[in-house]
Amino acid sequence: MALKGHITEDEEKEGAILVSVRWGETSMEEAEESLSELESLAETAGAQVTGSLIQTRSRPDAATLLGKGKLAELAVEIKEKGADLVVFDQELSPSQQRNLENELNVKVIDRTALILDIFALHAHSKEGKAQVEMAQLRYQLTRLIGRGAELSRLGGGIGTRGPGETKLEVDRRRISTRIKTLDRELNDFSRVRRIKRKRREKQAVPTFALVGYTNAGKSSILNALTGAAAVVEDQLFSTLDPTTRRVVLPGNRHAVLTDTVGFISHLPHQLVEAFKSTLEEVKEADVLLHVVDASSQNIEGKIEAVEKVLNEIDATEMPTIYVLNKVDLLGEEERAEVPKKMPYGLLASAWSGEGLESLREKMYSNLENAGLVTLFIPYERGDLLSTIYRKGNVMSFHQEDNGYRIVAALPPALRHAYRDYRQDENAAQGSGKAGQG
């Protein structure tokens, strides 16, 4: 699918059949939930889902992922439903995709291609479009490389040389050249963002970053706390471009709050790589607000998916406030169960305003301690002391047998860079939950 811009009601939707292959330790419940999410993704991309299929196997088929019987069953359903598209919940290799299209005579894509397409649909800023194009090109490059063995037979010796391999090399070169151009553009965007961050640091403006599973209500929380007008839609990945707004905390203390791209299970690695410059906003924040959809049936799984991406960008040890949004959608019994799952979470509703004042107070109290760390610097790393004194605010300094013990208020980047020397409670507990206080 190559959707661009907004999908209109008049635009003819592609009929799609969803397929999932379950093996290993994946339970049927997990497979059904993932397929339900895939349906939401397909609908967000503009498809009309006409059917779904799950197959359980001891291992996936190397050629088509599905077994021959299920493949035949799928072909019949495609014909009966008049489907134009088959979407697999699992990532397909280039050869599997090609084999499936040959067998089924319709377009076949995987979850990764679908998510990339949605990102292309929702990217509006120049930076967002560049990031998505970068991810798509990296994905396409792996598809081209996957065709290499097949095309190389056309140019494998005397009498077999032909345009096939030449075309492959041309495509590779064009994509590689475009990737280099986009990389330079994204570096420029990243440099501008760094300058803005340094300006905020000089002005001593504390920062919060919103993270969370897609459609958890991050933009709604941003709007409710700051009075912003960020786009809010009940669909996956409705906003991609980061939005930063000023928020007023108790005691008339000002801070900035940044909304970032939503995460999802099996977020394509190409996207994480392309959006790393944007996700630097997360790493550089003083405190994270991890927004969780309290009405979700799989709260723990979605938190785990978010923390997996945070781990990829090296941002798992940051002070974090867990905001259990959408409690207005819960009945009394469901509401009573949520604190049992997440006793350290704060119940809130961006729609009704419930819990927002408590959230502001928690943000304020977390800020008071967010920058304060205890470091033990060995004598052999005494070179770090000048940086600590130059960029931080040293509260206490003690010389001990094996090194220096320092309590200091440090900016986020320095706290992260010196995490191996930290001995404060936040570093010891890890996983970000130390900020719950």
What pLDDT is recorded for position 364? 86
Distance from C-alpha of 224 to C-alpha of 99, rounded to nearest angstrom: 49
Structure-token match 């309290």, residue found: 294
CATH 3.30.70, domain 372-436, yes or no: yes
Q: Which helix (H) or strand (E) holds 290?
A: strand 287-293
Whether 127 and 278 have beta carbons less than 8 Å apart is answered as: yes
Distance from C-alpha of 409 to C-alpha of 433, rounded to nearest angstrom: 20
What pLDDT is recorded for position 166? 57
The single-letter code of the amino acid at 6 is H
Task: Name the pLDDT band for 161 (thresholds 50, 70, 90).
Answer: very low
The single-letter code of the amino acid at 430 is G
Whether 176 and 137 have beta carbons less than 8 Å apart is answered as: no
Whether 61 has a pLDDT exceeding 80, the answer reads: yes
Q: Give the tens place of pLDDT for each residue, 181-193.
A: 998 998 888 888 7
Task: Name the pLDDT band for 55 (thresholds 50, 70, 90).
Answer: very high
Task: Name the pLDDT band for 430 (thresholds 50, 70, 90).
Answer: very low
What pLDDT is recorded for position 214? 87
CATH 3.40.50.300, domain 205-370, yes or no: yes
Whether 412 and 285 have beta carbons less than 8 Å apart is answered as: yes
Highest mean pLDDT, choosing among 103-107, 114-118, 169-173, 367-371: 103-107
What is the pTM for the complete model shown? 0.73
Which residues lie across from 207 on neighbouring strands?
Answer: 256
Say if strands 287-293 and 207-212 run parallel, antiparallel, or are unpaired: parallel
Phi, psi of 30 (to 5 degrees): -65, -40
Which of 125-129, 168-172, 322-326, 344-348 is the least confident region?
168-172
| Mean per-residue pLDDT, 348-356 | 94
The single-letter code of the amino acid at 321 is I
| Mean per-residue pLDDT, 320-346 | 90
Whether 315 and 431 have beta carbons less than 8 Å apart is answered as: no
Token reading at 26 = 């994946």
What pLDDT is recorded for position 1? 37
Distance from C-alpha of 268 to C-alpha of 266, rounded to nearest angstrom: 6
- In DSSP notation, 232-269 reads --SSTT---S-EEEEEEEGGGEEEEEEE---B-TT--H
Whether 47 and 1 have beta carbons less than 8 Å apart is answered as: yes
The single-letter code of the amino acid at 111 is R
Q: Give the tens place of pLDDT for each residue, 201-228.
A: 665 677 899 999 988 999 899 999 998 6
**Closest listed residue to residue 86, CA positions, set 68, 65, 69:** 65
15-119 in CATH: which number? Answer: 3.40.50.11060
What pLDDT is recorded for position 408? 83
Q: Which helix (H) or strand (E) holds 42?
A: helix 28-44
Distance from C-alpha of 208 to C-alpha of 201, rounded to nearest angstrom: 13
Q: Which residues of 137-159 are buried (b: 16+ CB within 10 A; e: fewer)?
A: bbbbbebbebeeeebeeeeeeee
Whether 221 and 232 have beta carbons less than 8 Å apart is answered as: no
Whether 26 has a pLDDT exceeding 90, the answer reads: no
Distance from C-alpha of 102 to C-alpha of 110, rounded to nearest angstrom: 16
Task: Name the pLDDT band for 72 (thresholds 50, 70, 90).
Answer: very high
Structure-token match 């007023």, residue found: 248
Whether 310 has a pLDDT exceeding 50, the answer reads: yes
What pLDDT is recorded for position 167? 67
Q: Give the tens place of pLDDT for each residue, 383-401.
A: 899 888 877 778 788 989 8
Task: Name the pLDDT band for 231 (thresholds 50, 70, 90).
Answer: low
Q: Which helix (H) or strand (E) holds 415?
A: helix 412-417
Structure-token match 């509006």, residue found: 124
Whether 247 and 255 have beta carbons less than 8 Å apart is answered as: yes
Task: Rounding to the nearest 10 degrees, give the CA dihedral for residues 339, 342, 345, 346.
Answer: -20
